[in-house]
Chain A
Amino acid sequence: MQTKKNSLWGQVFARLKKNRMAMMGLCILMALLLTALLADVIAPFPFDEQDLFATLEGPSKLHWFGTDEFGRDILSRIIHGSRISLQVGFVAVGFSVVAGGFIGAVAGYYGGRTDNILMRLMDILLSIPQLLLAISVAASLGPGLLNLMLAVGIAAIPQYARLVRASVLSIRDQEYVEAAISVGSSDLRIIFRHILPNCMAPIIVQATLGVAFAILIAAGLSFIGLGLEPPTPEWGAMLSGGREFIRDYPYMTIFPGLAIMITILGLNFLGDGLRDALDPKLRN
């Protein structure tokens, strides 16, 4: 028996299910989440276990992706690295969505001088290219997982602030908001109960693509040595470590890069699919 899908999200998911690319993206993401959750169980070796008798070995039955210069199993490191990349991606984006969303909602709802000041501040941050901003913030915070998340997150705040502000502006003058104001709802209640839930669609799309971008930037920061310190199995740092061995042991760079690419690809598939599914112009 077919269940009736009346809610907006039910309809969105029904549309998403028809999109093969988006479903593939969702599968990749699910597989990655499982890998990250079960890393200790599925990784054949501990990520930091060194075997100095088996350094720089190519892919074999024992070490599917080979070993690095310390004899650590690359597959296990990539599996454990998924934890870090997903964590950085989701936490950083969560942070920028909350912070940027708050700034954007306040700016859009109150308008006037508040809006002007907050948005000029966002303009300033936007005028520094995101990667450079993340690099500068990462340098001033120092290395470490939390700092890496913050650096990537701070650099993305203005995007969400702008997005939420634009959505709020388009919703603020709707009749149901006027109704809420006239029955005496507080500003906070109006923003959180009535306005924000109605501008979720663009935020979700942007955030999905944002997680991909955050993972890329975080890997880039680690690649230039501003992210996480060894022996943390971060994909970008692994690539950077494999760089000097590229001539003779290319698999050290190939596999971590592949892991990054598949992750980003999955998130982009899903983000694109969500955008189409949520686009009112393409509905039905």
Chain B
Amino acid sequence: MLGYILRRCAMLIPVIFGVVFIVFVMMYVTPGDPARMVLGEQAPQVDVDNLRAEMGLDDPFLLQFGRYVYNAVVHADIGRSYITKRPVWNELMTAFPITLKLSALAMGIALLVGIPCGIVTAVRQYSIFDNIVTLFALIGISMPVFWLGLLLILLFTVKLAWLPPSGFDSVQAMIMPAVTLGLQSVAIITRMTRSSMLEVVRQDYIRTARSKGQKESVVIRKHALPNALVPVVTIAGIQFGILLGGAVLTEIIFSIPGLGRLMVSSIEMRDYPMVQGGVLFIALAFCLVNLGVDLLYAWLDPRIKSQYT
């Protein structure tokens, strides 16, 4: 198992290297001059040229890329923001906990609502409850996040005046963003739990459990659920990784200074080191979450675990 973990971690290195390269290429071809962005439209061209040289933007592409990788690997330095002048790492560490909190809350809502809904719809297949929840799950998947956010603001802030329209430091302020971000995951987890549960309850061992006279609630809770939840864990993990990188729209609507909003504003300001560092960080987090999911999956399902050892 340890060998497998180490192999997977080693495989991350070329992937991360590739991510840095791709983001570098994208930033390189992006129109707009960072030096001009820093100095403003009115600044004389001489100053802009000097600053470009100082930033190393005039160097050949491969030199810039090599320097970035060298600094990152040898000095653990991923640069400073052009705009705030603070180290990129510090900026990321300010924004990341906020996004993490938001994503964790959204995921919590998704699991707390999605799993019970999935179980009940599977156990009572084709009932009214099943039809309603299935329909709502499809609506949830089809709802644009940014529209949902605006509708919630319209209802709970404008009409009812119950919740603040933005902010992230109180429970009340986090309710709407977490629901907005989490709704799609609620829908996905509900659907996954339902289909996985339906598959499990048709298995022979469930019929055995029933035929020996076990109570239905025990059959579902003790026999069916643990096995039905294995694929749900995978989906939930992948979903969590997506939330970390996909909180952009939610953060923008509710003015939350998380990672996503930081990325978008950095892209707008042509703050290359910030964008590179940010995408790198998110990609790394995404890969680590996926690695964690795979390990958890192996731990939950002995059949898979045996493949690794």
| CA gap between A49 and B27 in the complex, in Å | 38
Is B298 an interface residue when CB atoms closer than 8 A count as contact?
no
Taking CB atoms, residues of chain B closer than 8 Å to A140 are 26-27, 29-31
For B264, the chain A residues whose CB sits under 8 A away are: 135, 224
Minimum C-beta distance from A21 to chain B (A): 8
Would you call A250 and B158 a contact (CB within 8 A)? yes
The 3 closest A-B pairs by CB, nearest first: A129-B245, A257-B147, A124-B18
Residues of B within 8 A of A264 (CB): 141-144
Whether a CB of chain A sits under 8 angstroms from the CB of B132 is no
Whether a CB of chain A sits under 8 angstroms from the CB of B183 is no
Count A interface residues, CB 8 Å.
Answer: 44
Is A82 interfacial (CB 8 A cutoff)? no
Contact A135 B267 (CB under 8 A): yes
**15 A-B pairs whose Cβ atoms sit less than 8 Å apart in the complex:** A127-B16, A128-B19, A129-B242, A129-B244, A129-B245, A132-B279, A139-B267, A140-B29, A219-B144, A219-B146, A224-B248, A224-B264, A253-B150, A261-B144, A264-B141
Is the Cβ of A136 less than 8 Å from the Cβ of B286? no
A-B contact count (CB 8 A): 129
The reply to whether B18 and A121 contact each other, CB–CB distance below 8 Å, is yes
**Contact mask for chain B residues 170-181; partner A; CB cutoff 8 A; 1 contact, 0 none:** 000000000000
Q: B293 near A: Cβ within 8 Å?
A: no
Q: Is the CB of B142 within 8 A of A246?
A: no
Q: B-contacting residues of A (Cβ < 8 Å)?
A: 21, 120-121, 123-125, 127-132, 135-137, 139-140, 142, 212, 216, 219-220, 223-226, 236, 239-240, 242-243, 246-247, 250, 253-254, 257, 260-261, 264-265, 268-269, 272
A-chain residues with CB within 8 Å of residue B106 when the two chains form the complex: none
B245 contact from A132, A243, A254, Cβ within 8 A: A132
- Quote the shortest CB–CB distance from A182 to chain B (angstroms): 35
Quote the shortest CB–CB distance from A118 to chain B (angstroms).
12
Q: Which residues of A contact B263 (CB under 8 A)?
A: 132, 135
CB proximity of B263 to chain A, nearest CB, Å: 7
Nearest-CB residue, chain B, relative to A256: B147
Contact A246/B150 with A135-B248, A136-B26 known, Cβ cut-off 8 Å? yes
- Inter-subunit contact A123/B15 (CB<8 Å): yes
Seed contacts A261-B139, A265-B142; 10 additional CB < 8 Å A-B pairs: A127-B19, A129-B244, A129-B286, A132-B245, A136-B26, A219-B146, A220-B146, A224-B252, A253-B151, A265-B138
